[in-house]
Structure 1
Amino acid sequence: MKRREFLKSAALGAVAGGAVAAPAIAQSAPEIRWRLSSAFPKSLDTIYGAADVFAKFVSEATDGKFVVQPFAAGEIVGTFQTADAIGNGTVEMGHTAGYYYVGKDPTFALGAAVPFGLNSRQQNAWLYHGGGNEIVNEFMAKQNIYALPGGNTGTQMGGWFRKEVKTVADLQGLKMRIAGIAGQVMAKLGAVPQQVAGGDIYPALERGTIDAAEWIGPYDDEKLGFNKVAPFYYYPGWWEGGLTLHFYINKGKWESLPKSYQAIVQAAAMAANVDMLAKYDARNPAALRRLVGAGAQLRPYPNEIMEAALKATNEVYADISAKNADFKKGIDSLRAFRGEEYLWFQVAEYTYDSFMIRNRTKG
């Protein structure tokens, strides 16, 4: 074969080879556009911001081929409609707190937070390495949803009250904005739980429609201005020892993603999970100082209320478990894991933290 003919044949072969390879590459990295409906307003940059962290990670990891566009609560659907919108395919995914949907099924709360449950580190340990994610997604599959942990607030504060509460009797008839199974516990203690979206809490407190409200902690609570309408700031939020937010994804959409994109989504959710907790831990101290400086009156929950709440919580768990096998499976796993975790935490973690807290002013 002459040299010119050889080169021509080689070039044609290369073109043909390229024509075969290009579609294979395109199929493994398709262009995808998803909408993400957040359950939170954009003004809360830390909790809403997890959606931005997630979307940025996914876009950069795929060279812009997989784009997720976040929308704030109310822009597509409201806070309490997010799970339904994902399950029925109105949107491809969302970012929310599972306990917002306990009215559909109390099992939703298990992946998020339950009264006297796990702290943030224990929650991550249970979800990632204690069987929690498997239990959560076994249930979520029935909702046509796949769930990934996507943020943690740490232990939350116990809420803002217009009047001081010193005994369980002070809770009688008290109208309190409180989410999840904690509302059922508060009802057992005589309070009247209210479901109010984050952006609507301030006006409800200001008008006296509610007497108390819990949200997250100092950084977000300061942004929402609760100290201006309710002076007493209680702690701890015994119903949220370590709230996990989740990225909910329509199950069909999740299963249709290439494996490489699924891996990127999982990594992006983990990044958002770590980032949120770090932000809250970094920002809450200064915010708490500012709130107290502005007149907020810090109060620990009286032991009488804590003990009564724990007793009521155990009764609520027994009642739900007797009627709901999914919930029973999850809460039994979580409580067993909690017992083992505190066996360990009390040895090193608690001892170290207690010593350092007592001596924090010594340098």
Structure 2
Amino acid sequence: MNRRSFLKNTALGGSAAAATSLAAPAYAQGNRTLTMVTTWGRGLAGVHDAAQYCADAITEMSDGALTVDLKAAGELVGAFEVFDAVSAGQADMYHGVDYYFLGQHPALSFFSQVPFGMNFQEYSNWFYHDGGRELADELYPIFGLKPFPAGNTGPQSGGWFKSEINSPDDFQGLKFRMPGQGGQVLGKLGASVQNLPGSEVYQALSSGAIDGTEWIGPWADEKAGFQEITKIYYTAGFHEPGPNLNLTLNLDVYEELTPAQQSIISNAAQAVNIWSMSQFMANNSAALQRLQSGGVTILEFPDSVWDAFGAAAEEVTKEPMGDELYKKCYDSYMESLRSSAAWGSRSEGEFTAQRNRIVGI
């Protein structure tokens, strides 16, 4: 049981809660610098941009009362150390994607991405209006954290390979970089899955430490330079149709802020959410054309591979169902996904297909 739950469930905690409800909260006074650590190397296209946009927005919206000092991966703590650093109070907040931290709790997948899961709009529906935020506020306080959606890459590409993937058997023994439950799916297909921070992927692919990698999409991948190493690129992936990035604060730090400052944090995160998604989507098409003109072979996985992805994904997403909170998140997430997708396929999905047919896209 975590510290907060213990206090709430003891007589002393109940008395303390009753006493504090009668007194004004003790908010920190004066200007304050908040340290943000990230899972991103400085300059990584899109994802570091989102962290910087969020840091700048908080500083500007608070008129300097809150100044966010951004530390990229490795500048204060490593990319995979930010969760623990903020939980322990070593830093005030982090910007990152939480499938890096499934070892802390498997339900973090629902607040980052699950295979064959939600796109950006579907995730926003769930989080803001269909129970997701309430579940986040049940999960993250276990670790002394408070999360806010703060960026999205849109649908991610299938990845870069040294040779073509013609059947599920081609994943046997393949050294491939893919984090989260997506990586667990490839593990089911026999791949040797590597979980590397973004800033280390180019070197690993170049040196042969890995045979292939997914990263984000055409624009960010082009900026990373993967086309200099291999020319085989699969544009549609199963693993991240709309991965959510989070701005996550130490909960004690968040509760020390004034209501106005808390509102600034929330609204800055929402602003970067749409800004980030738009940045990726505005740049991907032109980048894909440049990659193709530069000799990259653009491919899609055959149906047999998609079927294998689907079967393995069902196993992976259901394996942690023995955890009560994971199951609660799963049930809520899937109910919301089915509802959003049912309407979306009949409205936007049909419209998009007809529009593209009529205007010749």
TM-score after normalising by structure 1: 0.89
For residues 120-145 of structure 1, the C-alpha deviation after alignment (integer angstroms, 9 at most, x for no partner) is 11011111111112112211111111
Equivalent positions of 1:305-320 (< 5 A) are: 305-320=305-320
Equivalent positions of 1:22-101 (< 5 A) are: 30-101=30-101
Bigger radius of gyration among the two: 1
Q: What root-mean-square deviation, in Å, do the aligned CA atoms of Structure 1 and Structure 2 show?
A: 1.5
How many residue pairs were aligned? 336
What CA distance in whole angstroms lies between the structure 2 residues aligned with 1:126 and 1:320? 21
For residues 126-178 of structure 1, the C-alpha deviation after alignment (integer angstroms, 9 at most, x for no partner) is 11111112112211111111000000111110110111001001111111100
SS class of match (1:347) = helix
What CA distance in whole angstroms lies between the structure 1 residues aligned with 2:350 and 2:145? 41
Do the aligned residues in 2 keep the contact of 1:110 with 1:136 (CA within 8 Å)?
no
Do the aligned residues in 2 keep the contact of 1:106 with 1:181 (CA within 8 Å)?
no
Q: Match of 2:153?
A: 153
Deviation at 1:218, TM superposition (A): 0.8
What CA distance in whole angstroms lies between the structure 1 residues aligned with 2:103 and 2:159? 22
Q: Does structure 1 residue 352 correspond to structure 2 residue 351?
A: yes
What CA distance in whole angstroms lies between the structure 1 residues aligned with 2:29 and 2:123? 34
What CA distance in whole angstroms lies between the structure 1 residues aligned with 2:189 and 2:325? 26
For residues 31-57 of structure 1, the C-alpha deviation after alignment (integer angstroms, 9 at most, x for no partner) is 111110011122224211122222222
Q: Does structure 1 residue 234 correspond to structure 2 residue 228?
A: no
SS class of match (1:210) = coil
What CA distance in whole angstroms lies between the structure 2 residues aligned with 1:208 and 1:356? 44
Deviation at 1:66, TM superposition (A): 1.0
Deviation at 1:249, TM superposition (A): 0.4
Q: Match of 1:276?
A: 276
Deviation at 1:290, TM superposition (A): 0.7
SS class of match (1:298) = strand
Q: Match of 1:10?
A: none
Do the aligned residues in 2 keep the contact of 1:29 with 1:65 (CA within 8 Å)?
no
Deviation at 1:346, TM superposition (A): 1.3
Do the aligned residues in 1 keep the contact of 2:45 with 2:223 (CA within 8 Å)?
no
Deviation at 1:306, TM superposition (A): 1.0
What CA distance in whole angstroms lies between the structure 1 residues aligned with 2:28 and 2:80? 35
Do the aligned residues in 2 keep the contact of 1:152 with 1:273 (CA within 8 Å)?
yes
Equivalent positions of 1:239-250 (< 5 A) are: 239-250=239-250
Do the aligned residues in 1 keep the contact of 2:177 with 2:193 (CA within 8 Å)?
yes
Deviation at 1:103, TM superposition (A): 2.3
SS class of match (1:346) = helix
Equivalent positions of 1:1-363 (< 5 A) are: 30-322=30-322, 324-361=323-360
CA gap of 1:312–1:45, structure 2 versus 1, over 3 A, is: closer
Deviation at 1:29, TM superposition (A): 6.3
